[in-house]
């Protein structure tokens, strides 16, 4: 069975893209055939290991101009037993303007295109599909959430982020009947002085990741789960990967 995991959060900069990429890498190291898709079409993913000189983008899939299979590229060079594929959104500013100005009807069609793409990836033998999204509630992110089987909800365990997340849980994920897991990221060291919660808003906490300065630098240019498997950040990725598999399989 293929699992589609959306990585979402109410606020920006919670670590969605870093965790999405590294979680995808962790699954590939666990022998899975993985596809990471950048659904943050308004602020696309710039990441040097994914510098494929793509000719086709997720935008083209949503506009019904090509198949998702034409968009994805394989990341090799690492001794993983599985495979890691990546599909990106078009970073060109005119493409961003075009996709940002679409109406509800187009968004309804886009959701259908995402569901089709998912089916194609499943028939191509993908085991795990990871959808990186934009923060908060907009069509791009909620379409991805609606197309997923599981939502990884990222938050920083601070008041503003918690209140905002509670809203999303009750106003979006629960209404769409999505199984979810929370990942608490960028936690201050003082947060670990007391026992960390294993549940919030009735949702299990899958991992609690400290704020680590080297992560901020390294995730910008490398896939940490590949480069430093023993690093606490990478270990958290394997942990999250295992917990989601336990829940879905």
Ligand X SMILES: Nc1ncnc2c1ncn2[C@@H]1O[C@H](COP(=O)(O)OP(=O)(O)OP(=O)(O)O)[C@@H](O)[C@H]1O
Instruction: State the Cα angle at 182 between 179 and 186, rounded to 5°.
Output: 160
* 121 counts as binding other proteins under rule CB under 8 A: no
Edge-to-edge strand ranges of the sheet holding 180-187: 73-75, 83-87, 33-38, 128-132, 3-8, 150-155, 180-187, 203-210, 199-200
- Residue 64 binds other proteins, judged by CB under 8 A: no
Instruction: Give the pair of three-digit tokens for residue 51.
Output: 């510098």
Residue 217 Cβ vs other proteins, minimum distance, rounded to whole Å: 36
Cα 156 from Cα 147, distance rounded (Å): 25
Task: Let me know: does 106 contact 14? Beta carbons within 8 Å.
Answer: no
8 A C-beta contact, residue 81 and residue 29: yes
Judged by CB under 5 A, the chain residues 174 through 203 that form the site for Mg ion are none
**Closer residue to Mg ion in complex, CB, 11/200:** 11
Part of the chain binding ligand X (CB under 6 A), chosen from 52-60, 77-85, 140-148, 206-214:
206-214
Options 219, 224, 234, 237; binder of ligand X; rule CB under 6 A: 219
Residue 111 binds other proteins, judged by CB under 8 A: yes
Which of other proteins, ligand X, Mg ion, none binds 107 (CB below 5-8 Å, type-dependent)?
other proteins
Check binding of 8 to Mg ion (CB under 5 A): no
Nearest Cα residue to 137 out of 179, 107, 117, 112: 107
Taking the least distance from each CB to other proteins, the nearer of 22 and 165 is: 165
Instruction: Give me the least distance between CB of 152 and Mg ion, in Å please.
Output: 13
| Residues near other proteins, by CB under 8 A | 104-105, 107-109, 111-112, 115, 139, 142-143, 146, 171-172, 175-177
């Amino acid at each position: 069975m293929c699992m589609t995991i959306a990585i979402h959060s109410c606020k920006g900069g919670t670590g969605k893209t870093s965790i999405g990429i590294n979680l995808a890498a962790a699954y590939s190291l666990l022998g899975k055939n993985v596809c990471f898709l950048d659904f943050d079409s308004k602020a696309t993913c710039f990441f040097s290991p994914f510098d494929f000189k793509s000719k086709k983008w997720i935008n083209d899939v949503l506009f019904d101009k090509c198949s998702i299979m034409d968009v994805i590229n394989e990341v090799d060079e690492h001794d993983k037993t599985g495979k890691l594929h990546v599909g990106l959104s078009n970073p060109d500013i005119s493409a961003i303007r075009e996709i940002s100005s679409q109406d509800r009807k187009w968004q309804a069609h886009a959701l259908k295109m995402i569901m089709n793409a998912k089916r194609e990836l499943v028939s191509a033998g993908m085991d795990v599909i990871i959808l990186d999204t934009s923060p908060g509630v907009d069509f791009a992110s909620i379409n991805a959430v609606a197309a997923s089987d599981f939502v990884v909800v990222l938050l920083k365990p601070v008041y503003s982020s918690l209140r905002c997340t509670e809203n999303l849980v009750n106003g979006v994920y629960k209404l769409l009947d999505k199984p979810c897991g929370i990942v608490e990221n960028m936690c201050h060291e003082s947060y670990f002085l007391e026992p960390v919660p294993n549940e919030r808003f009735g949702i299990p906490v899958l991992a609690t990741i400290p704020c680590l300065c080297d992560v901020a630098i390294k995730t910008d240019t490398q896939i940490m789960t590949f480069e430093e498997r023993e690093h606490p950040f990478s270990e958290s990725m394997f942990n999250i990967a295992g917990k989601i598999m336990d829940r879905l399989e």
